[in-house]
């Protein structure tokens, strides 16, 4: 039986070290991209809750794009869908204030 020489053993250890470093770098890159995706989603959700209708509309326009990222897990997507559903239910429950409604309130005011 022949023994693996020291040069082959060194080569194998070196290759395994390079593979380990490459996997670590890849994992770190994915983690950084996920963190950036969540920063964008957080920015978007902050816009959707704005009192300014134009800013809220911008947040919802961007919402679908940022939540469609392949970096978001299924569980995280479920959370984001729940947030959107709750917001939609709240929006449907609140009547829109229009000029007609405001004018009626002014006319009904006995002062």
Phi–psi pair at 48, nearest 5 degrees: -65, -25
Is residue 29 situated within a structural domain? Answer: no
Say if 100 falls within a structural domain.
Answer: no
Residue at 108 is within a domain? no
Domain count within the chain: 1
SS3 content of the chain, % helix, strand, coil (to 5): 80, 0, 20
- Asked whether residue 3 is domain-assigned, the answer is no
Is residue 104 situated within a structural domain? no
Chain centroid to Cα 30, Å, comes to 14
Q: Is residue 87 part of a domain?
A: yes
pTM listed for this prediction: 0.57
- The answer to whether residue 4 is domain-embedded is no
Find all residues with CB under 8 Å of 63, minimum gap 6, and list them.
44, 45, 48, 84
Instruction: Give pLDDT tens digits for 44-101.
Output: 888 888 888 898 888 888 888 888 888 888 888 888 888 888 877 877 777 655 555 5
Q: List the domain range (segments joined by +) for residue 69.
A: 34-95
């Amino acid at each position: 039986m022949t023994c693996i020489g020291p040069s082959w053993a060194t080569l194998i250890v070196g290759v395994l070290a390079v593979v380990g470093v490459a996997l670590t770098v890849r994992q770190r890159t994915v983690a950084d991209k996920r963190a950036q995706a969540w920063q964008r989603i957080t920015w978007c959700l902050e816009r959707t809750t704005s009192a300014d209708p134009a800013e809220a509309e911008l947040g919802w326009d961007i919402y679908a794009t940022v939540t469609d990222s392949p970096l978001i897990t299924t569980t995280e997507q479920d959370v984001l869908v729940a947030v959107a559903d709750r917001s939609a239910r709240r929006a449907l429950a609140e009547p829109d204030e229009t000029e007609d409604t405001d004018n009626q309130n002014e006319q009904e005011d006995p002062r």
